[in-house]
Amino acid sequence: MEKVVVLLVGDAPCPLPELLADLVGSSAPELRRRGASRVQVNVIDPDLGHPHGIAPGPGDLRVSSMVSYWVEAAGERGIHAGILPGGGSGSWYGYLVVEAVQLAGPPPPGDGTRSTGFTQIVPLGVPKHLSWAEWRRRWQGEHTAVAIDTQSSFRYVQNLVVRPLDDGAPAFAAVVEESFPVDAASDTAVFYDAEDNQQRLADNSRRMMESCAKFIDGLVPIAWTAEYRLPD
């Protein structure tokens, strides 16, 4: 089986509730008819606010939604072409990925209802001053343990990009999925697994930022999303 991650880069083509209804009610079933399994839909949850209080600027890259699916063979273009909602300034870009589940978390509902908490989607690129091999070593070889140890995430999935499937796709090298308790969106102590412990909050925040600085250069287009798994 091969995994495909499709990102909506830019603004959503319609209000988010309509986009979610379209993805879950129309796009996902069509992906299933084309041979996909384990279809997952992530759409920005505006009730959570901007990730870490940072609103994207007018020229900043932003991700509005993500659709993931597994298929026997993705081919050159995947099977998602022409079935995801279009229009507006946003565009869908697919990536063939290798998935590493570092934290599996509790089983999702799998019936089209929202999963527990929220999922942070983080596309990553390779900084110009690093080789791909060194970037991957710092990210997967060193940072993984730090991320698990310093945050309250209960699911942690690393998707290493093999190749883009759509022309013009941003040069993302990986897409991270991290699921958190919903309170982590508004309380940094919850986010950094340090409730009622200011010293642990300071230490975990510092360790996380220092580790990220080793393989991330500048701002990344983080999205806080509601996640839905569709029935197989």
Q: How many domains does the chain have?
A: 1
The C-alpha atoms of residue 205 and residue 121 are separated, in whole angstroms, by 19
CATH no. for residue 185?
3.30.70
| Three-class DSSP category at 87 | coil
Cα 136 to Cα 173: distance, rounded to the nearest angstrom: 9
Helix or strand (DSSP H, E) at 124: strand 118-124
d(CA 40, CA 168): 23
Amino acid, res. 70: W
Mean confidence (pLDDT) of the chain: 94
- Domain of residue 86, residue span: 2-229
204 residue type, one letter: N
* pLDDT tens across the length of the chain (232 residues): 999 999 999 988 888 899 999 999 999 999 999 999 999 999 999 999 999 988 888 778 899 999 999 999 999 999 999 999 987 778 999 999 999 999 999 888 888 899 999 999 999 999 999 999 999 999 999 999 999 999 999 999 999 999 999 999 999 999 999 999 999 999 999 999 999 999 999 999 999 999 999 999 988 999 999 999 988 7
Q: What pLDDT score was predicted for residue 209?
A: 97
